[in-house]
């Protein structure tokens, strides 16, 4: 399991302590402003001269308090949270890409979209900035305000000390429910995001099938389930944010009562009633912030658990290292055993018996067989994209095979141009000539479904695989969607690669048979060598 320090929530560094003091500064400056304003009122009430100095000081303190609220109280923790959000989003994307394929297949795509977009944001802005800066800042503000109040009147300070647990208890139930609800929302939100993604990705196919009604109904069901939990969440949020204002009236009345009593006894000026009212209001913000943010942190822990799960998956060894071979005389790949295509390992599970499948360096190897017989799963296995546990038997895979250039399905297209779509490789001039790219080399490429024809998309995938420097090339149906001229030239080209590159091609036709060094064919679930 990944260490908790991978995504720390409470991070008490010197910088964060300074930031927390900054968060507390606005409340403390506001408290000081109230006291000086109370002094102004006392001077005015007594009719004594010299109101100018405390009035100016009150003004300066009020401006400083507002500036501190905006800059230190809000902007600094917000900026810190956004930085954390960005850093954890980048790290999460890296981890998703690094995780073995089987770890990625354990969850549906909506889960990863949610982790990447939502959990990274929640971790940065709510959890880290909340627990490391905002909550400690609110605690400092509360302690400071109580201390300032105690200097004026210890009884008033005692009232705040009594009030704090009352408010905490009042908020306990809704904040707990909020925390529990947060856990329930996540899987519903995963499903909703997954469905949203499906609508966008499949729009054209849905239109072509005339299945708009079916898809909108599915979407409505998922949205209703999600919005139902969101409504409950919003209601609890509303309660938590408004309850303190309601209860604060009682605190304000009690504190003002104490001040008024002192006033009547002649122990304090009339300004103290105003100070009491201001302090009762001021203390609400840190108290509520502590209650709300602790609930937020508790409720949102599942987000950081999800991020840690992705980080743990990225650290998971693929397991293929144990199968890799290094020797120069070794085959590029050898598989001897039963390869399971489906997770089920019983009579219903699909499997391919790949007894003594072998590819030697520099060979052109053709694999044939009926649809769904497990040929693509075999290539995935050679490329180290599946799970070594899928094989009941033995295998030896060269590092070249495990890092092979791989044309697989669907051919992914990235918005940009052809050069960009080669993902860092320079176009192989011979492959480019063979594929007859036409205007594909100059035009803008988008991931809109009609931007490239099926054949053009295939050419792009082939150019990408054939331009990579890796010595082993795996091609899943290289001739699919190509016109007769390109098919013939491509077959000649692949035949010409013999001795220079190791090529394994899945074929549904005999066009490569004559050139192939070996041909394997699946018959009745068994992969046998036929040439
Ligand atoms: N994770 C999985 N869960 C369930 N079934 C799976 C899974 N992975 C593969 N399969 C099934 O295993 C079978 C073999 O798939 P594979 O893509 O290897 O076939 P193929 O021989 O390449 O077929 P084709 O010639 O049609 O491309 C298919 O029926 C596929 O649906």
Q: For the domain that residue 293 is a member of, what is the CATH number?
A: 1.20.1560.10
- 434-455: b or e for each residue (b if 16 or more CB lie within 10 Å)? bbebeebeeeebeeeeeebeee
The pLDDT score that the predictor gives to residue 503 is 98
The pLDDT score that the predictor gives to residue 299 is 83
Q: Which residues have a Cβ under 8 Å from the Cβ of 211 and sit 6 or more positions away?
A: none
Q: 43, 58 in Cβ contact below 8 A?
A: no
> Based on the structure, what is the number of domains in the chain?
2
CA dist., res. 19 & res. 8, Å (int)? 17
- CATH number, domain containing residue 355: 3.40.50.300
Residues 335 and 308 in one domain: no
Residues 311 and 403 in one domain: no
SS3 category, 407: strand
Q: How many DSSP H helices and E strands does the chain contain? A: 18, 10
Nearest CA to ligand 1 atom 4: 342
CA dist., res. 64 & res. 442, Å (int)? 59
Residues 300 and 359 in one domain: no
Last residue in a domain, options 315, 332, 365: 315
Residues 30 and 146 in one domain: yes
The pLDDT score that the predictor gives to residue 338 is 93
Q: At what angle do helices 284-315 and 14-46 cross, to 10 degrees?
A: 170
User: Minimal CA–CA distance to 305: which of 119, 52, 44?
Assistant: 119
List, edge to edge, every strand of the sheet that includes 391-398: 324-325, 391-398, 333-340, 351-359, 526-529, 518-523, 364-368, 502-506, 472-476, 405-407
Residues 299 and 329 in one domain: no
Nearest CA to ligand 1 atom 20: 372
Residues 126 and 237 in one domain: yes
The pLDDT score that the predictor gives to residue 346 is 81
Residues 192 and 332 in one domain: no
Q: 484, 511 in Cβ contact below 8 A?
A: no
Question: Which residues does a 6 A CB cutoff place in the pocket of ligand 1?
Answer: 341-343, 350, 369, 371-377
Helix residue ranges per DSSP H, 99-153: 101-105, 109-114, 120-121, 129, 135-152
User: Minimal CA–CA distance to 475: which of 497, 504, 439, 517?
Assistant: 504
C-alpha 382 – ligand 1 centre gap (Å): 15
C-alpha 373 – ligand 1 centre gap (Å): 7
Q: Which residues have a Cβ under 8 Å from the Cβ of 396 and sit 6 or more positions away?
A: 323, 324, 325, 330, 331, 333, 334
C-alpha 522 – ligand 1 centre gap (Å): 13
Residues 290 and 417 in one domain: no
C-alpha 376 – ligand 1 centre gap (Å): 7
Domain assignment of residue 232, given as a range: 4-315
Residues 294 and 352 in one domain: no
Helix (H) or strand (E) holding 337: strand 333-340
Backbone angles phi, psi at 411, to 5 degrees: -70, 115
Using the atom order of ligand 1, give the atom closest to the CA of residue 380: 18
Global pTM reads 0.85
Backbone angles phi, psi at 511, to 5 degrees: -65, -20
Residue 282 vs residues 113, 141, 149, 156, 237: alpha-carbon distances, Å: 41, 10, 11, 13, 21
> For residue 358, how far is the Cα from the chain centroid?
40
Q: Which residues have a Cβ under 8 Å from the Cβ of 70 and sit 6 or more positions away?
A: none
Residues 458 and 476 in one domain: yes
Residues 356 and 298 in one domain: no
C-alpha 205 – ligand 1 centre gap (Å): 21
The DSSP bridge partners found for residue 519 are: 366
Last residue in a domain, options 264, 294, 315: 315
The pLDDT score that the predictor gives to residue 108 is 87
Q: Which residues have a Cβ under 8 Å from the Cβ of 205 and sit 6 or more positions away?
A: none
Q: 392, 354 in Cβ contact below 8 A?
A: no
> For residue 101, how far is the Cα from the chain centroid?
17
Q: Which residues have a Cβ under 8 Å from the Cβ of 164 and sit 6 or more positions away?
A: 142, 287
The pLDDT score that the predictor gives to residue 1 is 47
The pLDDT score that the predictor gives to residue 170 is 87
The pLDDT score that the predictor gives to residue 50 is 81
User: Minimal CA–CA distance to 455: which of 487, 418, 491?
Assistant: 487
- DSSP character string of 152-176: H-HHHHHHHHHHHHHHHHHHHHHHH
Using the atom order of ligand 1, give the atom closest to the CA of residue 379: 18
The pLDDT score that the predictor gives to residue 373 is 93
CA dist., res. 409 & res. 483, Å (int)? 19
Mutate to test the pocket of ligand 1, among 105, 107, 341, 353 (most ligand atoms within 8 A of CB): 341
SS3 sequence, 343-371?
Answer: CCCCCCCCEEEEEEEEECCCCEEEEECCC
Last residue in a domain, options 269, 297, 315: 315
Using the atom order of ligand 1, give the atom closest to the CA of residue 477: 27
User: What ipTM was predicted for this assembly?
Assistant: 0.96
Q: Side-chain half-sphere of 440: how many Cα atoms within 13 Å?
A: 25
Q: Dihedral of CA 271/277/282/287: which sign? A: positive
Q: Which residues have a Cβ under 8 Å from the Cβ of 13 and sit 6 or more positions away?
A: none
Q: Which residues of the chain have pLDDT under 50?
A: 1
Backbone angles phi, psi at 362, to 5 degrees: 85, 0
The pLDDT score that the predictor gives to residue 48 is 81
Mutate to test the pocket of ligand 1, among 108, 373, 524, 526 (most ligand atoms within 8 A of CB): 373
The pLDDT score that the predictor gives to residue 70 is 95
Residues 329 and 221 in one domain: no
- 192-227: b or e for each residue (b if 16 or more CB lie within 10 Å)? bbbbbebeeeeeeebeeeeeeeebeeeeeebbeebe
Nearest CA to ligand 1 atom 26: 371
Helix residue ranges per DSSP H, 283-355: 284-315
**Maximum Cα–Cα distance across the chain:** 113
Mutate to test the pocket of ligand 1, among 101, 344, 369, 376 (most ligand atoms within 8 A of CB): 376
């Amino acid at each position: 399991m990944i260490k908790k320090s991978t995504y720390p929530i409470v991070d008490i560094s010197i910088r964060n302590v300074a930031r927390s003091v900054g968060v507390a500064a606005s409340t403390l400056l506001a408290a000081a402003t109230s006291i000086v304003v109370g002094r102004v009122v006392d001077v005015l009430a007594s009719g004594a001269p010299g109101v100018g100095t405390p009035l100016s000081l009150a003004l300066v303190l009020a401006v400083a308090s507002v500036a501190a609220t905006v800059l230190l109280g809000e902007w600094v923790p917000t900026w810190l949270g956004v930085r954390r959000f960005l850093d954890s989003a980048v790290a999460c994307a890296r981890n998703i890409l690094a995780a073995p394929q089987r770890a990625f297949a354990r969850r549906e795509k909506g889960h990863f979209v949610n982790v990447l977009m939502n959990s990274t944001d929640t971790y940065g802005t709510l959890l880290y900035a909340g627990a490391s800066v905002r909550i400690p800042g609110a605690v400092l503000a509360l302690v400071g305000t109580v201390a300032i109040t105690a200097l004026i009147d210890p009884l008033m300070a005692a009232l705040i000390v009594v009030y704090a647990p009352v408010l905490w208890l009042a908020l306990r139930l809704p904040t707990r429910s909020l925390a529990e609800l947060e856990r329930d929302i996540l899987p519903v939100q995963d499903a909703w995001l997954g469905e949203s993604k499906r609508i966008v990705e499949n729009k054209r196919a849905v239109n072509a099938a005339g299945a708009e009604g079916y898809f909108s109904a599915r979407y409505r069901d998922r949205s209703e389930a999600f919005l139902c939990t969101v409504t409950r969440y919003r209601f609890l949020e509303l309660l938590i944010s408004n309850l303190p204002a309601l209860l604060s009236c009682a605190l304000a009345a009690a504190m003002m009562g104490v001040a008024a009593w002192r006033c009547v006894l002649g122990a304090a000026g009339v300004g103290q009633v105003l100070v009491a009212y201001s302090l009762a209001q001021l203390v609400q913000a840190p108290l509520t912030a502590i209650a709300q943010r602790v609930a937020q942190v508790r409720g949102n822990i599942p987000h950081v658990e999800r991020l840690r799960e992705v980080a743990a998956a990225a650290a998971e060894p693929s397991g293929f290292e144990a199968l890799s071979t290094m020797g120069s005389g070794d085959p590029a790949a050898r598989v001897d055993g039963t390869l399971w295509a489906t997770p089920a390992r019983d009579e219903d599970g699909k499997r391919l018996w790949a007894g003594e499948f072998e590819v030697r360096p520099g060979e052109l190897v053709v694999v044939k067989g009926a649809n769904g017989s497990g040929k693509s799963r075999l290539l995935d296995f050679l490329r180290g994209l599946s799970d070594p546990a899928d094989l009941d038997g033995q295998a030896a895979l060269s590092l070249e095979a495990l890092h092979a250039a791989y044309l697989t399905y669907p051919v992914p297209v990235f918005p940009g141009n052809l050069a960009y779509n080669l993902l860092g490789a320079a176009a192989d001039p011979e492959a480019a000539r063979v594929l007859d790219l036409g205007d594909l080399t100059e035009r803008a490429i988008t991931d809109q479904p009609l931007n490239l024809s099926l054949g053009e998309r295939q050419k792009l995938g082939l150019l990408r695989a054939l331009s990579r420097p890796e010595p082993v090339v795996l091609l899943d149906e290289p001739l699919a969607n190509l016109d007769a001229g390109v098919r013939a030239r491509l077959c000649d080209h692949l035949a010409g690669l013999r001795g220079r590159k190791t090529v394994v091609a899945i074929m549904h036709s005999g066009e490569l048979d004559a050139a192939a060094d070996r041909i394997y064919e699946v018959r009745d679930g068994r992969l046998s060598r036929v040439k």
